[in-house]
């Protein structure tokens, strides 16, 4: 073999070795770009959160738009230069700029709007109604992750759970962990969150719990979750972005762990604790707590709520709660403390006798016999029954509202179950009683004081509490 041919072969081998070395280094620093072999859920890069209707969370340039968060779940940095995002299978619409490195466990946000370009702006938006597919690809167009979008309410995001599924969140965290702590960190980093004052409970479908004026009213509870007192004077509450619809009065200080309640009556002239807006039972509103300068401190997106249920922050998570605690901790102990403070911690008013087939016995002021319910105060103090309820339907315990009436200690009070619905003088409910129905006595704050299922008893006999047990008896109304 000639010397020149040997030199050629040696040069070729050196070139190939150098090329292999360059490719190896490139693959190392690119995180495997162009050579990823991916099976579902196995690649460390993934779409971890997205928002499709953003009117409250601007980026650092003040732009309000949709966004997608990418997470590096691995324990090493990942160079994502040239990696791509798109909402179109036929074209990669966005590529990460050269030099984009995602730290171990880090997150990066791509802002999705056709109105901006360059940097971390992708030239597409995300449909609010859902139904499209977001794709994360490497530089060789290998799909690393895909998400089929869901219909999104305004200012809520979709966050990825451990099992890979997505769930709606009222605490968006672009670039931060999808937790309450991540939300607080996001607010602080964006210049919005300061201190430990936060929204802790909301009620939008109030039928029983009354404001100080005695009327049922929606409400928002604010908590100081910190260890020092906070002056919340001039802080703001609103259900609309950029509007101060309620301002806390001067001198309002929350002690550590303390709560305050704002009653959303729609009429601020009722007093300093009343706001000039109401809340929608069907949900979809954003309740915003801001500082005196209008910077948001906390937000909560309201869901649809059934009557007399609240939306409460419990152990860091928002959940629908059937035991509201306005002004108290969202715990069993807090509920017990609230019930006690409202005067219902030791209820001694009960149903003592029911007549469901009164044909010839007790008559009303019209000279007519009707079914009747006897209520007994077994306590040692008089009790106002105003705002209590009687019902023959457990599904509607607040059917008939008892008017202003006081029952003395040891007294037995008769309420006719005639259907005549009278609340002045002699009391008549708007319903009658049949065998098999359940009669319920409900307190003004929704606690069932007593509940009795009425069996079939003979005519002109009653169903009575005798020695602590229920039995058929000769009627003794008022005794």
Nearest to 314 by CA among 306, 447, 322, 279: 322
Do 306 and 437 fall within a single domain? no
Task: Give the domain extent around 88.
Answer: 45-188
Do 372 and 357 fall within a single domain? yes
pLDDT at 35: 40
CA dihedral over 308, 310, 314, 319, signed as positive or negative:
positive
**Cα(319)–Cα(156) distance, integer angstroms:** 15
Nearest to 50 by CA among 160, 136, 141: 160
Which of 157, 188, 219 marks a domain boundary?
A: 188
pLDDT at 237: 95
Q: Is residue 144 part of a domain?
A: yes
pLDDT at 15: 60
Placement of tokens 């809520």 in the chain: 156
Do 234 and 172 fall within a single domain? no
Q: Is residue 110 part of a domain?
A: yes
Do 150 and 129 fall within a single domain? yes
Dihedral angle computed from the Cα positions of residues 307, 312, 317 and 321, in that order, rounded to the nearest 10 degrees:
-40
pLDDT at 162: 86
DSSP state of 363: B
Token pair recorded at residue 348: 């001694």
> CB–CB of 35/26 below 8 Å?
no
Q: Where are the strands (E) in 272-331, listed by range?
A: 274-275, 286-290, 296-301, 310-314, 317-321
Placement of tokens 């005695």 in the chain: 214
Q: Which H or E run contains 371?
A: strand 371-377
Token pair recorded at residue 13: 């081998």
> CB–CB of 123/110 below 8 Å?
no
pLDDT at 30: 42
**Cα(259)–Cα(330) distance, integer angstroms:** 11
pLDDT at 325: 94
Do 109 and 211 fall within a single domain? no
Q: Is residue 40 part of a domain?
A: no
Do 208 and 317 fall within a single domain? yes
Q: From the CB of residue 281, how many other CB atoms can be counted at a distance below 10 Å? A: 15
> Model's pTM, two decimal places?
0.62
Do 215 and 90 fall within a single domain? no
Do 134 and 203 fall within a single domain? no
pLDDT at 194: 55
Q: Is residue 18 part of a domain?
A: no
Do 390 and 281 fall within a single domain? no
Do 157 and 218 fall within a single domain? no
Q: Is residue 55 part of a domain?
A: yes
Dihedral angle computed from the Cα positions of residues 127, 132, 136 and 142, in that order, rounded to the nearest 10 degrees:
-150
Nearest to 413 by CA among 404, 422, 405: 405
pLDDT along the chain (479 residues), means of 10: 56 57 43 45 88 87 93 94 94 95 96 94 95 95 94 89 88 89 81 76 88 88 92 91 89 94 90 92 89 82 90 90 93 92 89 93 94 94 92 88 91 95 93 92 90 93 90 93
User: How do residues 305-323 score in pLDDT, each as one tens digit?
Assistant: 988 899 999 988 899 998 9
Token pair recorded at residue 202: 């909301």
The CATH number linked to 55 is: 2.60.40
**Cα(190)–Cα(254) distance, integer angstroms:** 25
Do 260 and 374 fall within a single domain? no
Nearest to 207 by CA among 313, 262, 281: 281
Which of 122, 156, 188 marks a domain boundary?
A: 188
Q: Are strands 66-72 and 143-148 parallel, antiparallel or unpaired?
A: unpaired
Biggest distance spanned by C-alpha atoms of the chain? 133
What are the φ and ψ backbone dihedral angles of 375, each rounded to 5 degrees?
-115, 135
Burial string for 296-329 (b: 16+ CB within 10 Å, else e) reads: bbbbbbbbebeebbbbbbeeeebeebebbbbbbb
Query: Which contacts qualify for 465-469: CB closer than 8 Å, 24 or more apart?
Result: 465/350, 465/351, 465/352, 465/353, 465/376
pLDDT at 96: 97
Q: Is residue 173 part of a domain?
A: yes
Do 177 and 224 fall within a single domain? no
The CATH number linked to 309 is: 2.60.40.1260
**Cα(460)–Cα(444) distance, integer angstroms:** 32
Q: Which H or E run contains 15?
A: helix 3-30
Which of 285, 315, 341 marks a domain boundary?
A: 341
Q: Is residue 460 part of a domain?
A: yes
- For the chain, how many structural domains are there in total? 3
User: How do residues 97-112 score in pLDDT, each as one tens digit?
Assistant: 999 999 999 999 999 9
Q: Is residue 384 part of a domain?
A: yes
pLDDT at 181: 82
């Amino acid at each position: 073999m000639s010397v020149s041919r040997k030199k050629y072969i040696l040069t070729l081998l050196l070139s190939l070795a150098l090329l292999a070395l360059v490719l190896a280094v490139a693959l190392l620093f690119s995180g495997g770009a162009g050579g990823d072999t991916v099976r579902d859920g196995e690649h460390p890069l993934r779409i971890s959160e997205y928002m499709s209707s953003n009117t409250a969370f601007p980026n650092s340039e003040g732009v309000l738009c949709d966004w997608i968060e990418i997470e590096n779940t691995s324990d090493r940095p990942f160079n994502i230069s040239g990696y791509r995002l798109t909402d179109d299978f036929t074209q990669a619409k966005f590529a990460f700029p050269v030099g984009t490195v995602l730290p171990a466990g880090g997150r990066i946000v791509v802002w999705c709007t056709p109105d901006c370009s360059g940097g971390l702006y992708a030239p597409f938006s995300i449909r609010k109604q859902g139904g499209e597919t977001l794709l994360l690809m490497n530089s060789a167009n290998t799909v690393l992750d895909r998400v089929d979008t869901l219909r999104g309410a305004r200012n809520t995001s979709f966050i990825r759970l451990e099992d890979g599924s997505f769930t709606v969140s009222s605490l968006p965290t672009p670039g931060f962990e999808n937790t309450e702590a991540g939300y607080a960190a996001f607010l602080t980093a964006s210049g919005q969150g300061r201190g430990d004052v936060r929204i802790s409970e909301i009620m939008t479908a109030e039928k029983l719990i009354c404001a100080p004026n005695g009327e049922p009213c929606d409400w928002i509870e604010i908590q100081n979750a910190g260890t020092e007192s906070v002056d919340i004077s001039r802080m703001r509450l609103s259900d609309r972005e950029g509007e101060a619809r309620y301002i806390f009065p001067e001198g309002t200080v929350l002690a550590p762990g303390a709560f305050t309640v704002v009653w959303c009556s729609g009429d601020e002239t009722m007093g300093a604790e009343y706001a000039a807006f109401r809340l929608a039972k069907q949900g979809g509103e954003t309740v915003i707590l801001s500082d005196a300068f209008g910077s948001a401190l906390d937000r909560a997106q309201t869901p649809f709520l059934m009557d007399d249920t609240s939306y409460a922050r419990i152990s860091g998570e928002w959940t629908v709660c059937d035991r509201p605690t306005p002004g108290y901790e969202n715990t069993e102990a807090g509920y017990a403390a609230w019930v006690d403070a409202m005067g219902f911690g030791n209820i001694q008013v009960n149903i003592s006798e029911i007549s469901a087939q009164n044909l010839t016995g007790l008559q009303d002021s019209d000279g007519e016999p009707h079914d009747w319910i006897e209520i007994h105060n077994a306590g040692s103090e008089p009790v106002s029954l105003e705002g209590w309820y009687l019902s023959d339907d457990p599904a509607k315990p607040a059917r008939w509202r008892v008017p202003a009436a006081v029952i003395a200690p040891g007294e037995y009070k008769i309420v006719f179950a005639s259907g005549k619905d009278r609340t002045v003088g002699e009391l008549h409910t708007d319903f009658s009683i049949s065998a098999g129905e359940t009669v319920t006595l409900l307190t003004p704050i929704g606690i069932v004081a007593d509940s009795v299922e009425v069996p079939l008893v003979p005519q002109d006999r009653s169903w009575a509490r005798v020695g602590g047990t229920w039995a058929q008896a000769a009627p003794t109304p008022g005794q």
